[in-house]
Amino acid sequence: MKNIVLIGFMGTGKTTIGRRLAGRLGRPFIDTDAAIEEITGKTIPQIFARDGVIRFRSEEALLVKKLACREGLVIATGGGVVLNPENVRLLKENGVLIAFTAEPEVICQRVKNLKDRPLLGKGDQREAIDRLLKERDGVYDIAAHTINTGCCSQEQAVDEIIRFLNQEGLLT
């Protein structure tokens, strides 16, 4: 059974919707950021601050390699996972990619009280979000299906994913 891999920018709902989806399907749920924190014994901001972004990306790539060997998982990825083509290749090999999008103002609203997104920095979050979205233009357009989570409830997003997977015969 293929893994269901959720991709998309920060604040698009990969973790919350992914957990619900896994619950509905009775499948194990893995959040790559949480798994990296567990493996390294450090929080994401600590990894970025102490070891740097390159180290974070290499932990992420190592984890993707391990997860791509497993089956039947729901995986919520970090927003930068798809920047590495090798990650994409591995995740696609054994999984179906579902992308989440949301308008910049929705993303801004969702991440505004979070202190654990080092790439958004300490300055104007909206500016950082706009810059990153521009830099990443098109990178999430590799999914089999895309859902704008700013326009639906979490439950509706889960329904939509299940509908799509059923239609593609990926749940049997």
Q: Which residues are at the interface with ligand S3P (CB under 6 A)? A: 10, 14-15, 33, 44, 78-80, 117-119
Classify strands 74-76 and 95-101 as parallel, antiparallel or unpaired: unpaired
DSSP 3-state of 32? helix
| Between 33 and 101, CB nearer to ligand S3P | 33
Read off the amino acid at residue 65: K
Residue number with the shortest CB distance to ligand S3P?
78
Query: Does an H or E element contain 40, and which?
Result: helix 32-40
Q: How far is the CB of 125 from ligand S3P (least distance, A)?
A: 13
Among candidate residues 163, 7, 3, 20, the one with its CA nearest the CA of residue 100 = 7
Distance from C-alpha of 107 to C-alpha of 10, rounded to nearest angstrom: 7
Vertex 64 angle, CA 169 and 114, to 5°:
100
| Between 72 and 118, CB nearer to ligand S3P | 118
Q: How far is the CB of 123 from ligand S3P (least distance, A)?
A: 16
80 Cα distance to chain centroid? 8
DSSP 3-state of 63? helix
Contact (Cβ atoms closer than 8 angstroms) between residue 20 and residue 154: yes
Q: How far is the CB of 78 from ligand S3P (least distance, A)?
A: 2
| Between 14 and 27, CB nearer to ligand S3P | 14
| Between 109 and 166, CB nearer to ligand S3P | 109
Q: How far is the CB of 160 from ligand S3P (least distance, A)?
A: 20
Q: How far is the CB of 166 from ligand S3P (least distance, A)?
A: 26
| Between 148 and 170, CB nearer to ligand S3P | 148
